[in-house]
Amino acid sequence: MSLFAPPNPREICILTNFRSVVLSGLLSVTALNATMGQDLKDFCPMEAPESQPKVIANPSKQQLGYFKPAITGFGQYFRVLFVFAEFEGNTYQSASWPLNSLPTWAGDLVDPNPDAYRPLTLSKFWDVMSMGQFDFIGDVYPALVTVKSETYYQTNGFNFTESNRDVLKKLDNDISLDWTRYDKWRYNTTTQAFEFGTDGIIDMIYIIYRNSQIGPKQEPGWFTSQSAIVYPENIWINRGNFAGIASLGKGPFSMTYLTDNYRTVNFDFGYEGSGITIRNGINYSSAFGIMELLAHEFGHYLLGSGHPENSFAIMSNYPELRNLQLNSLERERLGYISFQSIYQYNGQLFPLTDAVTTGNVLKVAVPGQTDFLIIENHLRKSPFDQIDRGGLGLDPNSTRGKGVYVFKISDSFLINSSSVLLKNADGSFNWGWAGDTYIGTAKVPLLEKLSVNRDGAFGDRNFNDFKYNINDTYGWAPFHVKNPLTKEWELTWACLGDEKDAYTLSGIKMMTPWSNPNSKAGGFETFSFEITNQNADVTSIKTWVYQKDALALPPSQPQLLKVSIENWNPKLTWSANIEPDLSGYKIYKSVTNGAAPLTWSLVTTVPKTASSYLDESVSVTSETQNQKIFYQVKAVDNTGLLSVASNFDWLFYNMEMQKVSDSNGNEQDLITRFSIENAYPNPFNPATTIGFSIPEQGAVNWQVYDTQGKLIFSAPEKVYPAGHHQVFFDGKHLSSGMYFIKMRYHSQIKTIKLLLAK
């Protein structure tokens, strides 16, 4: 069948209906095979499908599609035309989209026939998301369409409406293009339902431009969905431009185009809207990579014009939060899945299969409340499940981050106004700003966890919340945190997942009213669950709705463990647990050559009122050594049940510094060499303390220099006795930045870095 020839209704019906008939139970596979050689008139009537329009019941404007159909019935499909365009005179090179050519991945984008779907196409995406209820098919126009230069449109005051109109004119000159292939659906204003039938309006066209490169930021009025916003040069995200938009135009020229086949192309967004515009297709190296954007823009036609808050959803305004697949709330609103609700179950076991491929999702709700929890098991059975991709980008073969994910849903009546917040298994916190760093000219914050926020959702995948708290100075995507093993600031993409966000049998396996995060939603905070079994196909969780039942579970994980130096001893502090049956905490330590510990030894047990511990059996400094001493904490309840271990923290460890006995049997610190410790605090504002040790009495002097080698401060030389000492430096008259302290003892010189962050 020719790509642009009118479809044979009988061919379409045969391709569409075999699966539907088998799955409906009307015909067995054996009987279907036998039928292959027979007359198929019982299954495929000779009339064109559009001659028998089928009304789809639409109980709400979101379910089954807001502005386009989201479910196709027996013998139906939704066909889309994909067009690739380039501006005249463009010279930008790209291996994935060569000049004057279609992108290398154009043929992988969509499938032309229902039910004949390749694994990674947009057709297969909608097939998986809809649980087989939506046949989204399409054609790729076989030639690149070249329009006038960007400069032409910009200097004439045009926007993408005019360039799209020129694309359509080029297409209309191709007599082999049959526009009627893309007019198969109409909206019935009386029934408020979509019908499979013609209305003279093209259903959907994607126009994907190779790239738009006018200026470092697009000028207002050209290729923008709104007037360009003027940001300082250090902004990470320029919001003045769209990556894609669910329309073919805007403004007074945003009306219609009439094809030679007497089909109208409607440029606006709405029931009769005909298209989507993608601005920079050159940014994507594969069809799988651009799929997230294409699905998002079509999602506007199905779910409305808004972007839900913080959402781990295909409709999120932030690509980092889309994770490719539709989330369960979107799928439920479109009629693709139904939630399994939990109300008064106590100790009941729920076997959860893979949420994406089976639609098995738990809803924890309270009558009369609008907020609720959703519990999803992500076993990464589908390549479209990209819930934990980290900084590795989209990877259809990845199985990272398998586990149970919990979302808090607020204000969920309309999908485009709801808030979908991930309750990270590794905790929610109040975060603080610790200075800035740069990626090129883009300023990004240094962030640290300040305190536990059990009821919030400020995990390391929700940093747009933090950004808004500091007046939108930063873009959302990457941020810096300290590497727990090196304590160095590192760029992280934990906002895309770090394999710690899911509840797993071997990690954090339970949520209670006292855990971080807790189970609160809509004022309801008595719900608890625990993972009891996990394999390749099923994760079983046991649920309770009374606090007395949750008390039979182990305590939750202690959090925010930090180890500092106090009087040359390690001092541990942590955020206290709040379980009413808490008994105390067990302290563990381990010494390694710097690697993360594999084994731990018990140091002591402290009472439940403690949230700190000073280990006086160990002497330490912050000077770099070839060994480290690590600590972690576990909570213990009145029955002896232990929590999962806290995060670890460490200090440098020197065997030569540990306490030894003198001739009288008294313990004393053994110092064998000159050493200088890192300052504390560091970064500091405005003052810090620097510790040092000398093995024998001697003169010590120290100076402070800036990064250009200029002397900022010089302390007078002073004679110190052997032992540990501290000096104090006040930088209140200095500007923020990096400084160096150089300390001299006899002929030895030691230098450390200081970061002043005002």
Answer whether residue 351 is part of any domain.
yes
Q: Which of 137, 118, 169, 166 lies closest to 3, judged by CA?
A: 137
The span from the CA of 500 to the CA of 421, in Å, is: 16
- Determine the length of the chain: 758
* Higher-pLDDT residue of 669, 736: 736
Spell out the SS3 assignment of 420-470.
EEECCCCCCEEEEEEEEEEECCEEEEEEEEEEECCCCCCCCCCHHHHHHHC
User: Are the CB atoms for 72 and 130 separated by under 8 Å?
Assistant: no
| In a shared domain, residues 119 and 4 | no
The rounded mean pLDDT for the chain is 81
Strands 185-188 and 193-196: antiparallel
pLDDT digits (tens, 9 = 90+) for 70-126: 999 999 999 999 999 999 998 889 999 999 999 999 999 999 999 899 999 999 999
Residue in this structure with the two tokens 């191709």, named with its chain if needed: 174
pLDDT value at position 344?
64
Q: Convert the pLDDT of each residue in 212-264 to its tens digit.
A: 876 444 444 567 644 333 333 333 333 346 789 999 987 655 578 887 778 99
Task: At 349, give phi and psi (nearest 5°).
Answer: -95, 130
pLDDT at 507: 95
Co-location of 6 and 148 in the same domain: no
pLDDT digits (tens, 9 = 90+) for 275-305: 999 999 999 999 999 999 999 999 999 988 8
**How many other C-beta atoms can be found within 10 angstroms of the C-beta atom of residue 566?**
12
Q: Read off the tokens for 376.
A: 């999803």
Mean pLDDT in residue range 392-413:
86
692 with 743: CB under 8 angstroms? yes
CA of residue 222 relative to chain centroid, distance:
30
What global pTM score does this model have?
0.77
Paired tokens of 620: 């330490």
Q: β-strands 737-745, 748-756: how paired?
A: antiparallel
pLDDT value of position 177: 94
Which 3 state secondary structure label does DSSP give 113? Answer: coil
Residue 147 lies in a domain: yes
- Residue 32, in any domain of the structure: yes
Same-domain status, 587 and 531? no
Residue 471 has pLDDT above 90, yes or no: no
pLDDT of res. 179: 95
Residue 37 forms part of a structural domain? yes
Domain that holds residue 4: 1-45
pLDDT category, 157, cuts 50, 70, 90?
confident
Number of C-alpha atoms within 13 angstroms, CB side, residue 258?
1
Q: Which two tokens stand for residue 536?
A: 């390749």
pLDDT, residue 671, reads 65
User: Do 449 and 581 reside in the same domain of the chain?
Assistant: no
631: domain CATH number is: 2.60.40.10
The verdict on 360 and 258 lying in the same domain is: no
Residues 708 and 602 both lie in one domain:
no
Listed residue (244, 238, 247) closest to 216, CA to CA = 238
Cβ-defined contacts of 211-219 (< 8 Å, 24+): 211/87, 211/90, 211/92, 211/94, 211/279, 211/280, 211/281, 211/282, 211/283, 212/87, 212/150, 212/279, 212/280, 213/90, 213/92, 213/150, 214/150, 214/151, 214/154, 217/241, 219/154
Strand blocks (E) in 554-626: 559-566, 569-575, 582-592, 601-607, 612-614
Contact 96, 105 (CB under 8 A): yes
- 10 Å Cβ neighbour count for 152? 16
Same domain assignment for residues 129 and 236: yes
Residue 666 placed within a domain? no
Confidence of residue 579 (pLDDT cuts 50, 70, 90): very high
- DSSP secondary structure letter of residue 171: H
Chain centre to alpha carbon of residue 149: 36
Q: How many DSSP H helices and E strands does the chain contain?
A: 10, 40
662 in a domain, yes or no?
no
Q: Which of 701, 712, 702 is nearest to 752 (CA)?
A: 702
Residue 55 CB burial class (10 angstroms; 0-12, 13-18, ≥19): middle
Q: Are both 187 and 294 inside the same structural domain?
A: yes
- Let me know whether 527 and 579 are in one domain: no
**Between vectors from CA 230 to CA 224 and to CA 231, what angle results, nearest 5°?**
120
Same domain (yes/no): 136, 152: yes
Q: Helix 122-129 vs helix 287-303: angle between axes, to the nearest 10 degrees?
A: 50
Residue 550 lies in a domain: no
Task: Report the pLDDT averaged over residues 404-409.
Answer: 93
387 and 417 in a single domain? The answer is yes
pLDDT band at 672; cut points 50, 70, 90: low
User: Quick one: tokens of 125?
Assistant: 């995406």
Domains: count for the chain: 5
Quick check: is 330 in a domain? no
Question: Does 192 share its domain with 162?
Answer: yes
Beta strands in 292-428 (DSSP E): 340-342, 348-352, 361-364, 372-378, 403-410, 419-422
How far is it, in rounded angstroms, from Cα 41 to Cα 9?
Answer: 12
Tens of pLDDT along 311-362? 788 998 777 778 899 999 999 989 999 999 887 667 889 999 999 999 999 9
How far lies 14's CA from each of 116, 135, 212, in Å?
A: 11, 14, 42
